[in-house]
Amino acid sequence: MAASGRVRFLGIGFDEPSTESAADDILAAGKLPFQYVVTPNVHHVVKLHETGGDGFVRYADAWKVYCDSRVLSQLARACGLNLPVVTGSDLTAVLVQRASDLNLKVAIVGPSAEDCAILARRYPGLDMSSYTPPMGFINSEAEIKKCIDFVVSHPAALTFLAVGMPQQEILAQRIAEHGEARGVGLCIGASIDFLTLKQQRAPLWVQRFGLEWMHRLLSDPKRLARRYLIECPRIFPLIIAHVRDTRSRGRSPAA
C-alpha cells in the first residue's frame, strides 16, 4: 500500500472505497476548488505504460483514483492485492440519482444536447448545463479554452467529462490548473449513454464474472475489436514484469 493510503498496482495508486462511500466523498467536496476523479481500467493501464508513464493522463494529479475494471481487480488479487472495484458507470449512476434528489447543479461536457435532454427528462431534479465540444477539440488550444470557460462560468457540484480517454483526463487536469473552477470533475467515458439508454450495459451476472468487456465487444465489434483483442491483452506482460520485479527485490508481488 502506498504511503498516501492508496493501493499501488502497476504504477498507479488506487483509492479503495465502496461506490456509495466514494459518492459520499465526492458530494461532500462539491463546493471546494475543482479537483477530479479518474477510473482507470485495463486499457488505460496499458496505454499509460506504452506512452511512457504518468504524463499520459497524470493520474498522480487526480484527487481520487478508482479501479474501473473487475479484470484489473482480479489480476491484482492474483498478485496478492485487494483492489476494490468502483466502476465509472456505477459511480455516475449513483451520483446522478443523488444529484437529482438533491436538486444539485451539474455540468456535462461531451454528450449532444439531445442526449442531455433525455438525461434531464429521466432525472428531472437535475439543475443541468451542458456543452458539446467538436471532435478533435483536444488538439486545439482555443477549443480546450472553450471547455474550461464553460466549466468556470457554470459552477457546479459535479462536472461530468464524457469525451473519451485520454481527452477527458487531460481536460480535467487543465481545468484544475486554471484555478477558478469549483466542485468535482469526473472522467466518465460512455457512462451518460448508459443512463440515457443509448447503450445497454451487460447483465449483472456478466458484470460479476468480469465479462462486461466481452458484452461491449460483441455489441460494437468494429470499434472495439482492436481495444479488447489486441491492446488489452498487453496487460499480461506488465503483470509478469511486475511479479518478476517485486520478487527480484525480495518483496511480495503485492508490494
Model confidence over 32-69: pLDDT tens digits? Answer: 999 999 999 999 999 988 887 665 667 888 999 999 99
Q: Higher confidence at residue 50 or residue 158?
A: 158
Is residue 52 a part of any domain in this protein?
yes
Domain-embedded: residue 132: yes
What are the beta bridge partners of residue 241?
Answer: none
Q: Using one digit for the tens of pLDDT, what is the confidence trace for 6-24? A: 899 998 999 999 999 999 9
**225 Rama class: left (phi>0) / alpha (psi -120 to 50) / beta:** alpha
| Sign of the Cα pseudo-torsion (128, 155, 41, 189, in order) | positive
Would the pLDDT of 121 be above 60?
yes
User: What CA–CA distance (Å, rounded) separates 56 from 149?
Assistant: 23
Residue 92 has pLDDT above 50, yes or no: yes
Please identify which residue in the block is written with the cell numbers 467515458: 189
Q: Is residue 118 part of a domain?
A: yes
pLDDT score recorded for residue 38: 96
* Residue 2 pLDDT level (bands cut at 50, 70, 90): very low
Query: Is 73 contained in some domain?
Result: yes
Q: Which domain holds residue 79?
A: 7-190+203-245
Question: Count of domains in the chain?
Answer: 1
**Count of H helices and E strands in the chain?**
12, 8
Which pTM value belongs to this model?
0.90
User: 236 in a domain, yes or no?
Assistant: yes
**Does residue 127 fall inside a structural domain?**
yes
